[in-house]
Structure 1
Amino acid sequence: MTYILLAVLFSVAVSVLLKLARRYGIDIVQAVATNYVVAALLAAMLLGATPQAAIEAKATYVPLVLLGILLPAIFVVLARSVRTAGIVRTDVAQRLSLFLSLVAAFVFLGDTLTGMKSLGIALAFAAVLCVLWRRQRDPMDRAGWIAPLAVFAGFGAIDICFKRVAQAGAPFASALLASFLIAMALCWIAVLARAAMRVAPVTLRSLGFGVLLGAANFANILFYVRGHQALPNDPSLVFASMNVGVVVLGTLVGAFGFKERLAAVNWLGIALSIGAITVMATL
């Protein structure tokens, strides 16, 4: 379980870094672009990944391109969400996005809807509503729920894309590296264009922050993969431990480390999210 604990720590560390980015004047686009340089290098070095297997399977083209667009976009949305809605709501929304994959499985992939799957979907849906609820002080300020809702939808779409790539026969490491390379290329085009238009000059501070972000982001993925490799016969235990761990630690860090205010209904949503993850882990 050491690998899972490390994966949880680095997952929450990514949220903490994004929370601190604005405080230190970090350009998030530059940081995300650098993050993918680091993540791609580490994927090649530590996972022995090459993009050929993913590229050779023609059925992977559409989901890989979508991943290349969605992965950097979700980082920008994550940064917005942790800033406006907080670490707690953002991490819970991210983890509950897995229920969208569950819905997609029987809507698009011919899976059968069972009683337990219905219970998991119902709990996850109720948890999302409770966690995202907040008293609106300003009717015009909708970022408090729109940003985490976008995180929820975005990570659900990413998980579905990875499943489609896996169905095409591409190994996970190969698909991961290919999507990182596409995301890296798109991000650096954006960075150079913004610098050329003098919207955001490239700074060493933002690039250095991106190195930290990339290391934490990849460490989260690496230790989660290692957790599955260490417990090959207990994938549900790894799944539940990882997601519940992120919800619990993210709640502690957000509520007590950053003094994020949560109403009783938000705490109920956190409890429901743990129940939903537990149910989904048994499917």
Structure 2
Amino acid sequence: MIYLLLSILASTLIFIHFKLFERFKVNTLQAIVVNYIVACTFGLIVYEAPVKVDEITSSKWFYGAIFLGFLFISIFNVMALTAQRNGLSVASVASKMSVIIPVIFGFYVYHESAGLQKIIGIVLALIAVYLASVKSKTSINFKKNLFLPIILFFGSGVIDTSIKYLETTYVPENGIPIFSATIFGFAAIIGLLILSYKFTFENLKFDYKSLIGGTLLGIVNYGSIYYLLKALHFEGLESSTIFTVNNVAIVMVSTLLGLLLFKEHISIKNWIGILLAVISIGLVTLA
């Protein structure tokens, strides 16, 4: 359970970083690329064994890590586009409600328990995510640019599902740091190619603040994935429980921190969502 709590904490700190990027006018794309470089480096440092490229490339999870690295940066850009064209609430709802995909995967592939209490908890969690994410005075238009929320929903779900599958099938516990580092490494390579294009053809200017912001983000971003993988590796908790609690807790804590740290307005809907989040976490965990 401690790994799950640390994953939730790290993921919530990611939210704080993005809010601070907005406040201090940090170039988000550049910070994201720096973040992936730092997260990869951090994983290589944490890895206790010698780093051998031939062993990494011959690992059964290697091509899965390439696929996840591509998804990481692609879905981030889809999330940014969704927030810009459909609204932040739509982006939040689409990405967090995708938890249903790895949950269903866990039920059917790993034959995890699906008792009435857990199902009620999962349904309440989905409702909680929606209510806690939707901000007042925000126009929610799922029909406008519909393909973006759909891609974000399925992309986020595929990322969580792929992480679970690779962790369960191919990654030993002592291999989690290097597996995580490889994912971030390929995301960084793709990000650097995108930045190179923008610097060359779009006259993008270098933002030194992105080095500081990206470095701090990279550390907590690595922690969010590392501790999630450690939680998934723990036999005492099922993946359907972990993903449900992880996603709904991140939304709940982020909403409360938005109130406390950034003086964001929380509507009655949001408070109901937070209450349902607490209830759903209790139901799913105790099930």
Q: Do they fold alike, i.e. is TM over 0.5?
A: yes
Structure 2 residue runs without a partner (length 5+): none
Q: Which secondary structure state, in structure 1, belongs to the residue aligned with residue 23 of structure 2?
A: coil
Report the more deviating stretch, 245-254 or 258-267: 245-254
Q: What is the Cα deviation at residue 140 of structure 1?
A: 6.8
- Partner Cα distance (1:44, 1:192) in 2: 25
Superposition TM-score, scaled by structure 2 size = 0.73
Note closer, same or farther for the CA distance 1:22–1:265 as it changes in structure 2 (3 Å cut).
Answer: closer
User: In structure 2, how many angstroms separate the alpha carbons of the residues matched to 1:117 and 1:273?
Assistant: 13
User: Which deviations, in whole Å up to 9, do the C-alpha atoms of 1:162-188 show, x marking residues without a partner?
Assistant: 112124322333321221111111011
Deviation at 1:66, TM superposition (A): 3.0
Does the C-alpha gap of structure 1 residues 20 and 11 become closer, same or farther in structure 2, counting only changes over 3 Å? same
Q: Secondary structure at the match of 1:22?
A: helix
The 1:107–1:218 alpha-carbon spacing in structure 2 relative to 1, beyond 3 Å, is same
Alpha carbons 1:53, 1:170 under 8 Å: kept: no
Query: How far apart are the structure 2 equivalents of 1:124 and 1:248?
Result: 10
Q: Verify the 8 A CA contact 1:64 1:161 in the aligned structure 2.
A: no
1:197-254 Cα deviation digits (max 9, x unpaired): 134222322223211211232244456677899xx68658x95986676455423220
Q: Quickly say closer, same or farther: Cα 1:174–1:53, change in 2 above 3 A.
A: farther
The one-letter code matched in structure 1 to 2:169 is A
1:67-100 deviations in Å (ceiling 9; x for gaps): 11222234446667889537xx94x876665443
Distance 2:166 2:149 in 1: 26
Take 2:195 and 2:216, find their aligned partners in 1: how far apart are those partners? 18
Over aligned residues, Cα RMSD in angstroms? 4.1
Q: Which amino acid aligns with 1:267?
A: W
Q: Quick one: distance in 2 between partners of 1:81 and 1:148?
A: 6
Secondary structure of the residue aligned to 1:200 is coil
1:103 aligns with 2:104: yes
1:124 aligns to what?
125
Corresponding position of 1:70 = 71
Letter in 2 for 1:85: L
* TM superposition shift of 1:264: 1.5
Aligned to 2:194: 190
Q: Distance in 2 between matches of 1:124 and 1:270?
A: 10
Q: Deviations over 1:230-282 (max 9, x none)?
A: xx68658x959866764554232202322222222222122222322333334
* Residues 15-30 of structure 1 aligned to structure 2 (within 5 Å): 15-30=15-30
CA distance in 1, matches of 2:121, 2:5: 24
Are 1:203 and 2:207 counterparts? yes
Give the aligned partner of residue 180 of structure 1. 184
How many pairs were matched up? 275
Q: Is it true that 1:56 corresponds to 2:58 in the alignment?
A: yes
Cα separation, partners in 2 of 1:33 and 1:76, compared to 1, 3 Å = same
The answer as to whether partners of 1:11 and 1:246 remain within 8 angstroms in 2 is: yes
Under a length normalisation based on structure 1, what TM-score does the superposition of the two structures give? 0.74
- Bigger drift between 44-53 and 176-185 goes to 44-53
Given that residues 27 and 200 in structure 1 are in contact (C-alpha distance below 8 angstroms), is that contact kept between their aligned partners in structure 2?
no
Is the alpha carbon distance of 1:266 and 1:152 closer, same or farther for their aligned partners in structure 2, counting shifts above 3 Å? farther
Give the whole-Å Cα distance in 1 for the aligned partners of 2:128 and 2:19. Answer: 23
Letter in 2 for 1:156: G
Which stretch shows the higher mean deviation, 67-76 or 244-253?
244-253
CA deviation digits over 1:138-174, x for unaligned, max 9?
577989x999987665443221011121243223333
Q: Assess if the C-alpha contact under 8 Å between 1:165 and 1:175 holds in 2.
A: no
